[in-house]
Structure 1
Amino acid sequence: MSVPTSSPVSGGRVDATAGPGPTPVDPAPFDIDAAWELNPKVALRPEPFGALLYHFGTRKLSFLKNLTVVGIVQSLADHRSADEALAAAGIEAAERPLYLQALRALADSGMITRRPPGSSPDA
Protein backbone atom coordinates (compact mmCIF):
# COMPACT_ATOMS: atom_id res chain seq x y z
CA MET A 1 0.00 0.00 0.00
CA SER A 2 1.20 3.42 -0.78
CA VAL A 3 0.13 6.62 0.88
CA PRO A 4 0.84 10.13 -0.30
CA THR A 5 4.41 11.13 -0.86
CA SER A 6 5.57 14.72 -1.01
CA SER A 7 4.10 14.75 -4.50
CA PRO A 8 0.96 12.88 -5.53
CA VAL A 9 2.92 10.03 -7.10
CA SER A 10 1.76 6.51 -6.39
CA GLY A 11 3.94 3.52 -5.75
CA GLY A 12 4.54 0.63 -3.42
CA ARG A 13 2.78 -2.70 -3.29
CA VAL A 14 -0.79 -1.38 -3.39
CA ASP A 15 -1.70 2.01 -4.77
CA ALA A 16 -3.97 3.92 -2.37
CA THR A 17 -5.38 5.83 -5.35
CA ALA A 18 -6.30 2.69 -7.28
CA GLY A 19 -9.86 1.49 -7.63
CA PRO A 20 -11.53 -1.06 -5.40
CA GLY A 21 -9.05 -3.18 -3.53
CA PRO A 22 -9.28 -5.97 -1.02
CA THR A 23 -12.21 -6.17 1.35
CA PRO A 24 -11.61 -3.82 4.28
CA VAL A 25 -10.70 -5.36 7.60
CA ASP A 26 -13.01 -2.88 9.39
CA PRO A 27 -16.20 -2.55 7.30
CA ALA A 28 -17.09 0.80 8.90
CA PRO A 29 -16.36 3.68 6.53
CA PHE A 30 -13.64 6.14 7.45
CA ASP A 31 -15.12 8.90 9.61
CA ILE A 32 -12.92 11.96 10.06
CA ASP A 33 -14.85 12.91 13.20
CA ALA A 34 -14.23 9.54 14.88
CA ALA A 35 -11.37 8.70 17.24
CA TRP A 36 -8.67 6.58 15.53
CA GLU A 37 -5.43 4.92 16.56
CA LEU A 38 -2.72 2.71 15.16
CA ASN A 39 -4.07 -0.83 15.27
CA PRO A 40 -2.60 -2.61 18.33
CA LYS A 41 -1.64 -5.48 15.98
CA VAL A 42 0.47 -3.11 13.85
CA ALA A 43 4.11 -2.20 14.37
CA LEU A 44 5.34 1.11 12.98
CA ARG A 45 9.06 1.33 12.24
CA PRO A 46 10.38 4.79 11.32
CA GLU A 47 12.65 4.88 8.28
CA PRO A 48 14.50 7.70 6.51
CA PHE A 49 11.85 7.68 3.76
CA GLY A 50 8.89 7.60 6.21
CA ALA A 51 7.93 4.36 7.92
CA LEU A 52 7.12 0.69 7.54
CA LEU A 53 3.88 -0.67 8.95
CA TYR A 54 3.55 -4.39 9.60
CA HIS A 55 0.21 -5.95 10.57
CA PHE A 56 0.86 -9.08 12.63
CA GLY A 57 -2.70 -10.37 12.07
CA THR A 58 -2.90 -10.06 8.28
CA ARG A 59 0.88 -10.09 7.66
CA LYS A 60 0.49 -7.04 5.41
CA LEU A 61 3.39 -4.65 4.97
CA SER A 62 2.72 -1.02 4.13
CA PHE A 63 5.04 1.85 3.34
CA LEU A 64 4.42 5.40 4.46
CA LYS A 65 6.47 7.63 2.21
CA ASN A 66 5.57 10.93 3.81
CA LEU A 67 6.90 12.02 7.20
CA THR A 68 3.82 14.16 7.81
CA VAL A 69 1.56 11.11 7.38
CA VAL A 70 3.81 9.19 9.79
CA GLY A 71 3.43 11.95 12.36
CA ILE A 72 -0.34 12.05 11.92
CA VAL A 73 -0.65 8.28 12.31
CA GLN A 74 1.53 8.37 15.43
CA SER A 75 -0.56 11.20 16.90
CA LEU A 76 -4.03 9.79 16.22
CA ALA A 77 -4.33 8.34 19.75
CA ASP A 78 -3.55 11.79 21.20
CA HIS A 79 -6.57 13.44 19.55
CA ARG A 80 -10.33 13.11 19.84
CA SER A 81 -10.69 12.70 16.07
CA ALA A 82 -8.76 12.32 12.86
CA ASP A 83 -9.88 15.86 12.04
CA GLU A 84 -8.13 17.16 15.17
CA ALA A 85 -4.99 15.18 14.32
CA LEU A 86 -4.91 16.77 10.85
CA ALA A 87 -5.43 20.23 12.33
CA ALA A 88 -2.67 19.67 14.90
CA ALA A 89 -0.33 18.68 12.07
CA GLY A 90 -1.08 21.97 10.32
CA ILE A 91 -2.80 20.40 7.33
CA GLU A 92 -4.52 23.17 5.34
CA ALA A 93 -7.92 22.74 3.66
CA ALA A 94 -6.35 22.42 0.20
CA GLU A 95 -4.11 19.54 1.38
CA ARG A 96 -6.79 17.66 3.32
CA PRO A 97 -8.11 15.45 0.49
CA LEU A 98 -4.65 13.92 -0.02
CA TYR A 99 -4.21 13.19 3.70
CA LEU A 100 -7.78 11.93 4.08
CA GLN A 101 -7.14 9.55 1.20
CA ALA A 102 -4.07 8.22 3.01
CA LEU A 103 -5.95 7.76 6.29
CA ARG A 104 -8.86 6.11 4.48
CA ALA A 105 -6.47 3.65 2.80
CA LEU A 106 -4.87 2.86 6.18
CA ALA A 107 -8.31 2.35 7.75
CA ASP A 108 -9.46 0.15 4.86
CA SER A 109 -6.40 -2.08 5.28
CA GLY A 110 -6.81 -2.29 9.06
CA MET A 111 -3.57 -0.45 9.83
CA ILE A 112 -5.50 2.13 11.83
CA THR A 113 -8.70 1.35 13.71
CA ARG A 114 -11.40 3.25 15.53
CA ARG A 115 -10.61 3.79 19.17
CA PRO A 116 -13.06 2.14 21.53
CA PRO A 117 -15.63 4.51 23.11
CA GLY A 118 -14.46 6.02 26.38
CA SER A 119 -10.77 5.81 25.50
CA SER A 120 -10.58 9.29 23.95
CA PRO A 121 -7.93 11.59 25.36
CA ASP A 122 -8.88 14.70 27.28
CA ALA A 123 -7.53 16.92 24.50
Structure 2
Amino acid sequence: MSAPATMPDSGGRGDTAAGAPAQTHTSGAFDLGAAWVLNPKVALRPEPFGALLYHFGTRKLSFLKNLTVVAIVQSLAEQPSAEAALAEHRITHAERPLYLQALGALADSGMITRR
Protein backbone atom coordinates (compact mmCIF):
# COMPACT_ATOMS: atom_id res chain seq x y z
CA MET A 1 0.00 0.00 0.00
CA SER A 2 1.26 3.40 -0.84
CA ALA A 3 0.89 6.56 1.19
CA PRO A 4 -1.25 9.38 -0.18
CA ALA A 5 0.71 11.21 -2.86
CA THR A 6 -1.23 14.42 -2.37
CA MET A 7 -3.99 15.96 -0.37
CA PRO A 8 -7.45 16.47 -1.84
CA ASP A 9 -7.22 19.40 -4.24
CA SER A 10 -10.00 21.97 -4.05
CA GLY A 11 -9.26 23.59 -7.38
CA GLY A 12 -8.91 26.95 -5.64
CA ARG A 13 -12.57 27.24 -4.62
CA GLY A 14 -13.60 28.38 -1.16
CA ASP A 15 -15.43 26.22 1.34
CA THR A 16 -18.74 28.00 0.87
CA ALA A 17 -20.91 28.91 -2.07
CA ALA A 18 -23.91 31.23 -2.12
CA GLY A 19 -23.45 31.89 1.59
CA ALA A 20 -24.10 28.27 2.60
CA PRO A 21 -21.62 27.04 5.21
CA ALA A 22 -19.77 23.84 4.48
CA GLN A 23 -20.32 20.98 6.92
CA THR A 24 -17.07 20.55 8.80
CA HIS A 25 -15.73 18.87 11.84
CA THR A 26 -14.86 21.39 14.51
CA SER A 27 -11.99 19.86 16.40
CA GLY A 28 -8.39 20.62 15.52
CA ALA A 29 -7.64 16.94 14.91
CA PHE A 30 -9.56 14.33 12.95
CA ASP A 31 -11.63 12.12 15.30
CA LEU A 32 -10.70 8.53 14.48
CA GLY A 33 -13.19 7.16 16.98
CA ALA A 34 -16.16 8.78 15.27
CA ALA A 35 -18.29 7.21 12.57
CA TRP A 36 -17.88 9.04 9.25
CA VAL A 37 -19.58 8.84 5.87
CA LEU A 38 -19.29 10.43 2.46
CA ASN A 39 -21.49 13.54 2.60
CA PRO A 40 -24.83 12.78 0.88
CA LYS A 41 -24.33 15.98 -1.14
CA VAL A 42 -21.06 14.63 -2.55
CA ALA A 43 -20.63 12.49 -5.65
CA LEU A 44 -17.54 10.30 -5.86
CA ARG A 45 -16.44 9.31 -9.36
CA PRO A 46 -13.64 6.72 -9.50
CA GLU A 47 -10.86 7.51 -11.96
CA PRO A 48 -7.65 5.65 -12.91
CA PHE A 49 -5.62 8.09 -10.77
CA GLY A 50 -7.99 7.92 -7.76
CA ALA A 51 -11.30 9.78 -7.77
CA LEU A 52 -13.09 13.04 -8.29
CA LEU A 53 -15.30 14.35 -5.50
CA TYR A 54 -17.93 16.97 -6.28
CA HIS A 55 -19.93 18.70 -3.53
CA PHE A 56 -23.28 19.81 -4.93
CA GLY A 57 -23.88 22.21 -2.01
CA THR A 58 -20.61 24.13 -2.19
CA ARG A 59 -19.79 23.30 -5.83
CA LYS A 60 -16.34 22.30 -4.63
CA LEU A 61 -14.34 19.82 -6.69
CA SER A 62 -11.60 17.72 -5.08
CA PHE A 63 -9.22 15.17 -6.48
CA LEU A 64 -8.16 12.08 -4.57
CA LYS A 65 -4.88 10.94 -6.07
CA ASN A 66 -4.48 7.76 -4.08
CA LEU A 67 -6.54 4.59 -4.57
CA THR A 68 -6.19 3.57 -0.92
CA VAL A 69 -7.69 6.89 0.24
CA VAL A 70 -10.57 6.32 -2.20
CA ALA A 71 -11.14 2.83 -0.80
CA ILE A 72 -11.07 4.13 2.78
CA VAL A 73 -13.58 6.88 1.99
CA GLN A 74 -15.86 4.38 0.26
CA SER A 75 -15.69 2.02 3.24
CA LEU A 76 -16.43 4.63 5.93
CA ALA A 77 -20.20 4.04 5.75
CA GLU A 78 -19.71 0.32 6.46
CA GLN A 79 -17.37 0.77 9.42
CA PRO A 80 -18.19 1.75 13.01
CA SER A 81 -15.36 4.33 13.02
CA ALA A 82 -12.62 5.83 10.89
CA GLU A 83 -10.19 3.78 12.99
CA ALA A 84 -11.93 0.59 11.81
CA ALA A 85 -11.76 1.78 8.19
CA LEU A 86 -7.99 2.32 8.49
CA ALA A 87 -7.59 -1.11 10.10
CA GLU A 88 -9.63 -2.73 7.32
CA HIS A 89 -7.17 -1.34 4.77
CA ARG A 90 -4.14 -2.36 6.85
CA ILE A 91 -2.80 1.15 7.30
CA THR A 92 0.38 0.85 9.37
CA HIS A 93 1.30 3.07 12.29
CA ALA A 94 3.95 4.77 10.13
CA GLU A 95 1.40 5.51 7.37
CA ARG A 96 -1.33 6.81 9.69
CA PRO A 97 -0.32 10.50 9.82
CA LEU A 98 -0.67 10.85 6.04
CA TYR A 99 -4.08 9.17 5.98
CA LEU A 100 -5.27 11.17 9.00
CA GLN A 101 -4.21 14.34 7.22
CA ALA A 102 -6.16 13.31 4.10
CA LEU A 103 -9.27 12.40 6.11
CA GLY A 104 -9.00 15.62 8.11
CA ALA A 105 -8.85 17.67 4.91
CA LEU A 106 -11.92 15.85 3.57
CA ALA A 107 -13.77 16.51 6.82
CA ASP A 108 -12.73 20.18 6.86
CA SER A 109 -14.01 20.64 3.32
CA GLY A 110 -17.32 18.90 4.09
CA MET A 111 -16.68 16.00 1.72
CA ILE A 112 -17.08 13.54 4.60
CA THR A 113 -19.29 14.12 7.63
CA ARG A 114 -19.95 12.46 10.95
CA ARG A 115 -22.64 9.81 10.86
Q: Per the shorter chain, which TM-score range?
A: 0.7 to 0.9
Please tell me the root mean square deviation across aligned C-alpha atoms, in Å. Answer: 2.2
Give 1:28's match in structure 2, choosing from 26, 29, 54: 26
Structure 2 gaps, min length 5 = 17-21
Q: Which amino acid aligns with 2:102?
A: A
Distance 1:54 1:22 in 2: 12
The match for 2:19 is none
**2:57 & 2:113 partners in 1: Cα distance?**
13
**Stretches of structure 1 lacking an aligned partner (at least 5 in a row):** 15-20, 116-123
Runs of 4+, deviation exceeding 2 Å:
9-14, 21-25, 27-30
Structure with larger RCO (C-alpha < 8 A, sep 6+): 2
Number of matched residues? 104
**Equivalences for residues 16-95 of structure 1 within 5 A:** 25-29=23-27, 30-95=30-95
- Which residues in structure 2 correspond to 1:81-120 (within 5 Å)? 81-115=81-115
Q: Provide the rounded CA distance (Å) in 1 between the counterparts of 2:51 and 2:114.
A: 21
TM-score in terms of structure 1 length:
0.76
TM-score, normalised with respect to structure 2? 0.82
